[in-house]
Structure 1
Amino acid sequence: MVLVDSESAVILRLRGPLELKCQLDSTDAVLMQKAISRTFEALRLQVKSEACVLAVCDSPVLIWPNKWVFEEITPDTPCEDIFQWIQTDDQETGGKRKTKKKNRKGLLVSVINLSLMMEVTKPGPLTAPILTRTVQKSHFLRATLPMDCAVRSSCGDTINNGCGRLLEALDRQLFEMEKVTLQHMRGATLLVPEPLNFLLPEPNGLVTVAFPRGVPDKELEARRRELHEQFELPGDRPYFRRANAYHFPNEPYKDGYLRNPHAVLTHPTLDNGKVYFVQGIYSYHHYMQDRLDDNGWGCAYRSLQTICSWFQQQGYVERCVPSHKEIQQALVNVGDKQSSFVGSRQWIGSIEVQAVLDHLLGVTSKIMFVSQGSELASKGRELAHHFLSEGTPVMIGGGVLAHTILGVAWSETTGEIRYLILDPHYTGAEDLQVITEKGWCGWKGPDFWDQTAYYNLCLPQRPRVI
């Protein structure tokens, strides 16, 4: 496991394929399991052999961890110094630069990616090959195991220590993959074990778990319950669904949406105030995305999409974020709108957002009615409680505008309040700097709201499930 809880952390992540090749001379279940166990033992010996090589990605650094051979560096080189050898996309050839990125808690996290390789040639003279021919019937199992291990190292730790712990993690992962493989064998067919990294609440940190590929989360509930007990996690929210897998800070999201733009903002300072945030990961949805011109009418749709992305990325639902037409069709299906509503450019509000969440995601919501915007300044306690207990984004609609509330800074003694607003009216590119500096995601005071307009707030409730 990897703890990411210090001022600065280096994560060493090792990935690479290991080929599982196993000849089964019998279809007897016990004999097949013994043969597969022997194959996994051979892989563990291979990882411990001198042929094992760790290559630092995008650099000339090579490490033979089992024979203390290091190219370009020494065993005592601090892990953090490896960054000077890593070539980044925005550097000129030969340039060296050390970069850090922040994780979702705002802590400095650097990731060193390493590739797992095996030497094919051996030192010494080559020998002539010997060919043999055996006639017999047997099953030959072959699978590529996608190894993925991560360990935390403080900046002062040496690369030798870090690589030693990586090999220990690799050995443990092979044991777990063997267990998963044997548990989910279907005759002579193997389900390839899939390693996933999960960032758990402290003090657990980052842990790696292997699940059988192709088996849906709902069929793994018993295993996930075991993991909840092992790591002393509550049983009312998912931590080990595939959607909960940790997204390393150096990996871009393939769908193009920004995640958690609020994470780079500075918290407002209030007298005896506390800050209450959305819990988890969401995508920022706004005007003009998805090749759809919804400027002027789609703000509530976009706020709803942000909320749906939260439930998807926390592992509560597997369905994709709904499109505008899917949202409209859902409202027709529940009897809220006529069929002509589908494909229109008509607005929706908080009540419609509540109906769609219930129909498409099975998520219930509470509605907070505010007769005029000036009353929002007194809703600090309710909003703080929501973010503490539910942690979901809140959709607020009033007049012709809709916004997403991601948190509040609130002082119980003075009543002073600030709202963390994600604005769906933004029409530009996915530029985090522009979005945060121009206030499309930012802290707003009570004067942000129309003081005389009414507002409805949709507060989605977190399902109590594993």
Structure 2
Amino acid sequence: MVVSDSQSTDTGTILRVRGPLEFKCLLETTDAPHMHKVISRTFEMLHTQVKSESCVLTVCDSPVFIWPNQSFNATPKDITPETSCEDLQQWIQTDEYEGTGKRSGKKKSKKTSSASVVNLRLMMEVTTKGGPLSAPVLSRTLKTSHFLSTTLQMDCAVHTNSRCMVKDAFERLSEALSHQLCEMEKVMLQQMKGTTPLVPEPLHFLLPEPKGLVTVVYPAGVPDSQLESQRKELHQQFELPDDQPFFRRANAFHFPNEPYKDGYLRNPHLVLTHPSLENGKVYLVQGIYSYHHYMQDHTDDNGWGCAYRSLQTICSWFQQQGYAERPVPTHKEIQQTLVDVGDKQKSFVGSRQWIGSIEVQVVLNQLLEVTSKIMFVSQGSELGSKGRELANHFLTEGTPIMIGGGVLAHTILGVSWSETTGQIRYLILDPHYTGAEDLQVITDKGWCGWKGPDFWDQTAYYNLCLPQRPKVI
């Protein structure tokens, strides 16, 4: 079920190989012992394929081909067994590549805290060297049989450090491919539905240090609610607490070079520089959230929807940490929920009425079964004294906080707080932004940024909704 790659993904290079393997087998009968025997035999043939000299791993968008099972054969010849994995990135072609066959003039980007990713394709040579060529022979046999056919989508990843050589890394990739086939075979044999085996689905998860990147094979199409026993086994195997959903599909690792398909920005605060406070410590939201703000989703909520957007950001956090499977609710769904629980009249649905922290608490409880604490602050000038409570929230719960006061709502993503001096800065995600999903504009203009105590209306009262993590596996 699982492959572990115990290095951190904060730095270094991740080599990720993906590609299809065709699974085809002919069944003379559909009794279980015979099916198991034939399926196992087919997997043996696939093992032979990935271990054969015909197996080729090619670096995507580059002229690099590597035969890992041929005592390390590679092209171009500049790539030797001692080449570092980092150097493979020099061969990846960019838009400026002119097809000269030389290394691409890839511009160096700013250093980030994430590992860089080299994507590879799994391929098989269909021609062989030497030997006489022969014409294909066709034969026709008439008999009743059953034919099983599917495509196994292989997906293996290994993390390498700056000292790792290509030869060693590709040996690890070859082993990972073989091991993943073993895990896929277990899933197919253990998850049979009548005469139909379920297709295996590999997923990657990033566990707390020092465990690193882990690959798990689940049966595709089986919901998380039916995989709790498998997740419990994984938690025991990796000595993880059983109150956080580390292995739900929504918590799968998102590779740094992959765009999100829904178009929302994730975690814009990660590019910001932390404020410098005397003896100050930074306490931040844990995990991934989406930035929701005015005018998204073809909805004109400018002037009234800021709390709805803050709530959507909070819901996205619970979804992307695996605590909730339902999509982020729309404004209308939020309004309907408040009507359903008796908090609002029917006329509220479709209106442009504001909501506040109490309504946010109600919706989270009703839609996601998430409880929240409410912090009441009689005037904005008192928020500066809430450093300890806010720091403790981000340390223990790590969820985004919705704060409403006057006619405005914001999302608090963290605090920088000095226990000795009492100084505090708030990391604010502002839902009042109306522009495009431009990270530079959003951070340069302060729509996501660190704010001082004077950011709040000093005389207005504020309610803060502090969502609590559910205790689930």
User: TM-score, normalising length from structure 2?
Assistant: 0.95
Q: 1:46 pairs with 37, 49, 61, which one?
A: 49
Aligned mate of 2:8, from 1, 5, 8? 5
Structure 1 CA distance for aligned equivalents of residues 279 and 268 of structure 2: 26
Provide closer, same or farther for how the CA distance between residues 394 and 39 of structure 1 changes in structure 2, counting only shifts above 3 A. same
How far does residue 98 in structure 1 lie from its aligned partner after superposition? 5.5
The gaps in structure 2 that reach 5 residues or longer are none
Q: Does 1:97 align with 2:106?
A: yes
> Which deviates the most, 153-162 or 276-285?
153-162
Partner residue, 1:217: 224
**8 Å contact from structure 1 (residues 83, 99) kept in 2:** no
Cα distance in 1 between the residues matched to 2:28 and 2:469: 52
Q: 1:88 aligns with which of 94, 100, 109?
A: 94
Where in structure 2 are the equivalents of 1:196-207 lying within 5 Å?
Answer: 196-207=203-214
Partner residue in 2 for 1:115: 121
Query: CA 1:292–1:7 in structure 2 vs 1: closer, same or farther (change >3 Å)?
Result: closer
Q: CA deviation at 1:397?
A: 0.1
How far apart in 2 are the matches of 1:272 and 1:299?
Answer: 34
Give 1:28-427 correspondences, 5 Å limit: 28-67=31-70, 68-72=72-76, 73-89=79-95, 95-97=104-106, 99=108, 107-123=113-129, 124-427=131-434
Shift of 1:92: 5.9
Which whole-Å CA distance do the structure 1 matches of 2:192 and 2:430 have between them? 50
Instruction: Give the 3-state SS of the residue equivalent to 2:347 in structure 1.
Output: helix
What is the alpha-carbon distance in structure 2 between the residues aligned to residue 305 and residue 101 of structure 1?
Answer: 31
How much has 1:298 moved relative to structure 2? Answer: 0.7
Does residue 443 of the first structure (1) align with residue 447 of the second (2)?
no
Quick one: which amino acid aligns to residue 40 of structure 1? F
- Contact 1:260–1:283, Cα closer than 8 Å, also in 2: yes
2:87 alignment partner AA = D
C-alpha deviations, 1:278-300, integer Å up to 9, x for none?
A: 11100000011111111111100
Write the deviation string for residues 114-169 of structure 1: whole angstroms up to 9, x where unpaired: 00000112223211222333333221111100000000111232211111110011
Q: In structure 1, what is the Cα distance between the partners aligned to 2:314 and 2:216? A: 28
Alpha-carbon distance change, 300 to 78 in structure 1, aligned in 2, over 3 angstroms: same
Which letter maps to 1:378?
Answer: S
Cα distance in structure 1, aligned partners of 2:13 and 2:46? 28
* Shift in alpha-carbon separation, 1:378–1:107, aligned structure 2, 3 A: same
Deviations 1:362-415 (A, max 9, x none): 111110000000110111111111111111100000000000000111111211
1:14 aligns with 2:14: no
- The residue type equivalent to 2:38 in the other structure is A
Q: Secondary structure at the match of 2:196?
A: coil
Find the partner of 1:452 among 441, 444, 459. Answer: 459
Q: CA-to-partner distance for each residue in 1:234-290, whole Å, 9 max, x for gaps?
A: 100101110000000000000000000011111112222211111110000001111
**What displacement does 1:108 show?**
3.7
Q: What do the CA deviations read for 1:3-46 (whole angstroms, capped 9, x no partner)?
A: 45377310000000011111112222112111111111111111
Residue 438 of structure 1: how far off its partner (Å):
1.0
Please list the CA deviations of residues 222-242 of structure 1 after superposition, one character each: whole Å capped at 9, or x if unmatched: 000000110111100101110
Give the drift of 1:89.
4.3
TM-score normalised according to structure 1 size? 0.96
Q: Distance in 1 between matches of 2:326 and 2:233?
A: 26
How many residues align? The count is 463
1:84 maps to amino acid: Q
Identity within the alignment, %:
74
1:256 maps to a residue whose letter is G
Deviations 1:69-114 (A, max 9, x none): 2111222221111111101346666642165677xxx624110000
Instruction: Give distance in 1, aligned partners of 2:322 and 2:236.
Output: 19
CA distance in 2, matches of 1:266, 1:197: 29
- In the alignment, which residue of structure 1 is the partner of 2:29? 26
2:96–2:105 CA contact under 8 A, matched in 1: no
Q: Secondary structure at the match of 1:8?
A: coil
Q: 1:343-378 CA deviation, whole Å, 9 max, x = no partner?
A: 111111101111111111111111000000011011
Pick closer, same or farther for the CA change 1:288–1:38 going to 2, 3 Å.
same
**Contact 1:55–1:62 (CA<8 Å) still a contact in 2?**
yes
Whole-Å Cα distance in 2 between the matches of residues 261 and 85 of structure 1? Answer: 30
RMSD: 1.5
Residues 219 and 423 of structure 1: is their aligned pair in 2 closer, same or farther, counting only changes over 3 Å? same
User: 2:283 & 2:426 partners in 1: Cα distance?
Assistant: 10
The alignment partner of 1:240 has SS state of: coil
